[in-house]
């Protein structure tokens, strides 16, 4: 591939290529089509109804993901239950009485989610929360009170969710508690509100007992700021006598705590010094915890109840990969079980506990069976100040002949940064990893400081460190990859969404020669304007965000935020940048993209800006994902020299617009013209 130099008035942006074959040990593997990786899965989210009579899953109907149901006795008689035409259904759940399926959806990515119910027998659809500019919250459901659920609605005050009982048959809403200042509530198995959580000015949280619609005047529990992100009540046993907590108070990593509600004595039930407890299995009849999961390098389940010990051992003996129990009947006689082999598409099974039989229901993406998918390697990387970053590396197929997790010779690499930042990357099948590895790149995902799941100290190590130590962690990961022979310093791109998009902008502005190029997806560029525009329903977490990022209410805080904002260093950008944005994003307003694009244009620095008018914080419609990743891989191929699938019909059905810089991505302008897009 030729070297291309784009010279502007204030900066020279250089794109180089190494040749598609350079990343692979021998011949490059066949390209996996984008549609197989990012198009609709054949089926996903398989579940069994509480009464055991029905199986359900998500699958395409006229090209849009919808809910399907089938008799549990005969899955071949599946039929579509919903008929969404534009916006895919991304999650759903069974009503407790098994008579209907509930799901939420928004419009164009605005995150004003409404709740819908659809009758399993008739297919009749009902909008259960028919309000504009309202975001519903599911707050509680019961295994034995099956005709109603508890929901939260912020249609009275967008900051706070009032608590309602929702009659599933009639759709009637009955106000239980008017909320003026509480960020969350605990609901027990009798659908009673037991506790209310209120943020304090110091960033901590107070927990108040609730009796009916009356909230106690003084708190029964106090959670300090340093524990507020890692401590919460997670539910009650069916009899209401025990409350469970995920709790980091008095320790670093969050443990499972059982609280006797009569004496308020607390007992540690599960803990791990490496990572927070983050997954639980509970008996559907009693609500008592039966197993817990800790996710350090990989997810590890520990069984605490012998009643399911044999079942878990049986599943581990029969299924190879990461196992998850996705639903259980009320009788607890059948489970749906998902298994993720990581380097093969996941599959879902129906498990009969009594017969000890597994029946395969479906493979999520059968079109990937036999495709050259790559393994993922967990690695531990030391930061310059001695912290340990749990990270995940995927290598191009054929680049690691001895399978030791290091390529035979250095290859181009994409540093793929997770969002949040209060979230984490995990081990498992990852479509972005597989796509990038197939194109010839090593892919490294890093749990930099501020990532969740590794204890409160690791989380707090990121406080006020946007663009500082959090960015150093990413640089240290790149340094590790270079030192380990994974890549070379001149062949590393940075890419990510949300905070990962911010990290991309920070990488190209704060360290302008470290990365060969960057792909920013819905990333903020100006932290002061980001915090000005956060959704109203984030009000209860506002102070915590300020304490972790910088407080815009004070001059010092504004200065911290400005110093960490890539926008004000946009004139330092020397390397190619591709930006993707949803026009309706309520979290990272499109102004964040437009500000940095305008700043670069003012300095004569080239940039490509891709905007989707029907998307929000990330891209939900597969047509839009396919279109954006088509542009991204051409961009990366020009920058790093990997393989790229031609655009073909990649923009068909997408709402893609490119307000700026289409000619900078090979083939994009022509593909837009062919698709009739702008």
Alpha helices in 142-236 (DSSP H): 225-228
Closest among 405, 500, 502, 397 to 441, alpha carbons compared: 397
* Active-site hit among 56, 327, 426, 498: 498
Q: What is the CA radius of gyration of the chain?
A: 25
* Active-site hit among 327, 585, 614, 632: 585
Closest among 657, 590, 659, 585 to 618, alpha carbons compared: 585
Angle, helices 542-549/555-563, rounded to nearest 10 degrees: 60
Cβ atoms 179, 137 nearer than 8 A: no
Alpha helices in 109-235 (DSSP H): 225-228
**585 catalytic per annotation:** yes
Question: 3-state class of 169 per DSSP?
Answer: coil
* Active-site hit among 617, 632, 654, 655: 617
DSSP state of 312: H
H/E element holding 556? Answer: helix 555-563
378 phi and psi, to 5 degrees? -75, 135
Closest among 215, 640, 208, 207 to 439, alpha carbons compared: 640
Distance separating alpha carbons of residues 218 and 202, to the nearest angstrom: 17
Cβ-based neighbours of 93, under 8 Å, separated by 6 or more: 47, 101, 102, 103, 138
Region of residue 498 (left: phi > 0; alpha: psi -120 to 50; beta: else): left
User: Tokens 């029907």 map to which residue?
Assistant: 614
Pairing of strands 137-140, 148-157: antiparallel
**498 catalytic per annotation:** yes
515 phi and psi, to 5 degrees? -110, 145
Q: How many CA atoms are closer than 13 Å to the CA of 153, on its beta-carbon side? A: 22
Distance separating alpha carbons of residues 499 and 492, to the nearest angstrom: 19
Distance of alpha carbon 16 from the chain centroid: 32
Cβ-based neighbours of 252, under 8 Å, separated by 6 or more: 273, 455, 456, 457
Tell me the CA distances in angstroms from 17 to 4, 25, 485, 494, one per residue in order: 9, 17, 19, 16
Question: 3-state class of 639 per DSSP?
Answer: helix
Beta bridge partners of 257: 245, 268
Cβ-based neighbours of 211, under 8 Å, separated by 6 or more: none
**Residues 190-194: contacts with CB under 8 Å, at least 24 apart:** 190/142, 190/145, 190/240, 191/140, 191/141, 191/142, 191/145, 191/148, 191/149, 191/150, 191/165, 193/150, 193/163, 194/236, 194/240, 194/243
Cα dihedral angle (544, 550, 552, 554), rounded to 10 degrees?
110
Cα dihedral angle (584, 588, 589, 592), rounded to 10 degrees?
-140
Longest distance between any two alpha carbons in the chain, whole Å:
74
Distance separating alpha carbons of residues 587 and 123, to the nearest angstrom: 34
CB burial string 11-49: b at 16+ within 10 A, e below: bebbbbbbebebbbbeebbebbbbbbbbbbbbbbbbbbb
User: Which residues are known catalytic residues?
Assistant: 498, 585, 617
């Amino acid at each position: 591939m030729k070297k291309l130099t784009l010279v502007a008035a204030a900066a020279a942006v250089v794109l180089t290529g190494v040749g598609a074959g350079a990343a692979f040990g021998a011949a490059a593997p066949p390209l996996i089509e984008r549609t197989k990786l990012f198009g609709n899965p054949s089926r996903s989210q398989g579940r069994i109804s509480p009464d055991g009579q029905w199986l359900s899953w998500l699958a395409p109907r006229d090209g849009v993901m919808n809910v399907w149901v089938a008799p549990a006795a005969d899955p071949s008689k599946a039929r579509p239950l919903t008929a969404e035409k534009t916006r895919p259904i991304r999650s759903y759940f069974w009503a407790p009485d098994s008579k209907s399926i509930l799901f939420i959806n928004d419009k164009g990515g605005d995150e004003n989610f409404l709740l819908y119910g659809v009758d399993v027998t008739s297919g009749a659809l009902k909008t259960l929360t028919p309000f504009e500019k309202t975001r519903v919250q599911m707050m509680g459901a019961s295994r034995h009170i099956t005709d109603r659920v508890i929901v939260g609605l912020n249609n009275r005050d967008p900051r706070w969710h009032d608590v309602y009982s929702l009659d599933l048959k009639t759709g009637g809403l009955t106000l239980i508690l008017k909320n003026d200042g509480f960020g969350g509530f605990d609901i027990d198995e009798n659908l009673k509100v037991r506790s209310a959580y209120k943020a304090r000015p110091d960033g901590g949280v107070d927990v108040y007992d609730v009796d009916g619609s009356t909230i106690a005047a003084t708190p029964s529990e106090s959670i300090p700021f340093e524990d507020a992100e890692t401590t919460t009540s997670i539910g009650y046993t069916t009899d209401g006598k025990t409350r469970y907590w995920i709790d980091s108070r008095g320790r670093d990593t969050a443990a499972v705590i059982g609280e006797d509600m009569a004496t308020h004595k607390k007992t540690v039930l599960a803990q791990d010094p490496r990572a927070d407890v983050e997954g639980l299995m509970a008996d559907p009849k009693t609500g008592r915890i039966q197993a817990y999961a800790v996710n350090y390098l990989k997810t590890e389940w520990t069984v605490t109840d012998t009643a399911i010990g044999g079942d878990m051992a049986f599943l581990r003996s029969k299924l190879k990969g990461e196992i998850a129990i996705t639903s259980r009947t009320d009788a607890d006689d059948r489970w749906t079980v998902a298994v993720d082999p990581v380097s093969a598409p996941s599959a879902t099974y129906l498990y009969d506990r009594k017969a000890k039989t597994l029946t395969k229901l479906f493979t999520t993406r059968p079109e990937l069976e036999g495709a050259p998918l790559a393994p993922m390697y967990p690695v531990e990387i030391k930061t310059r100040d001695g912290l340990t970053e749990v990270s995940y590396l995927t290598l191009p197929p054929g680049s690691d002949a001895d399978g030791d997790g290091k390529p035979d010779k250095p290859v181009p690499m994409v540093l793929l940064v997770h969002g949040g930042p209060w979230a984490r990357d995990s081990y498992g099948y990852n479509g972005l990893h597989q796509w990038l590895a197939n194109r010839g790149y090593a892919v490294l995902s890093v749990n930099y400081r501020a990532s969740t799941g590794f204890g409160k100290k690791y989380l707090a190590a990121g406080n006020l460190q946007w663009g500082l130590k959090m960015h150093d962690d990413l640089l240290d990961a790149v340094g590790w990859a270079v030192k380990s022979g994974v890549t070379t310093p001149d062949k590393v791109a940075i890419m990510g969404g949300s905070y990962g998009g911010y990290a991309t902008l920070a990488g190209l502005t704060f360290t302008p020669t470290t990365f060969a190029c960057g792909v920013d997806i819905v990333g903020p560029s100006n932290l002061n304007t980001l915090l000005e525009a956060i959704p109203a329903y984030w009000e209860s977490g506002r102070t915590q965000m300020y304490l972790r990022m910088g407080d815009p209410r004070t001059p010092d805080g504004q200065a911290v935020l400005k110093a960490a904002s890539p926008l004000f260093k946009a004139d330092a950008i020397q390397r190619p940048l591709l930006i993707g944005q949803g026009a309706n994003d309520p979290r990272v307003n499109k102004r964040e993209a437009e500000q940095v694009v305008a700043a670069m244009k003012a300095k004569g620095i080239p940039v490509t800006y891709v905007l989707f008018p029907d998307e929000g914080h990330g891209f939900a419609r597969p047509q839009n994902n396919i279109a954006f990743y088509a542009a991204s891989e051409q961009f990366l191929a020009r920058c790093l020299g990997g393989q790229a699938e031609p655009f073909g019909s990649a923009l068909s059905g997408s709402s893609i617009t490119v307000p700026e810089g289409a000619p900078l991505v090979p083939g994009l302008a022509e593909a837009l013209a062919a698709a009739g897009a702008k």
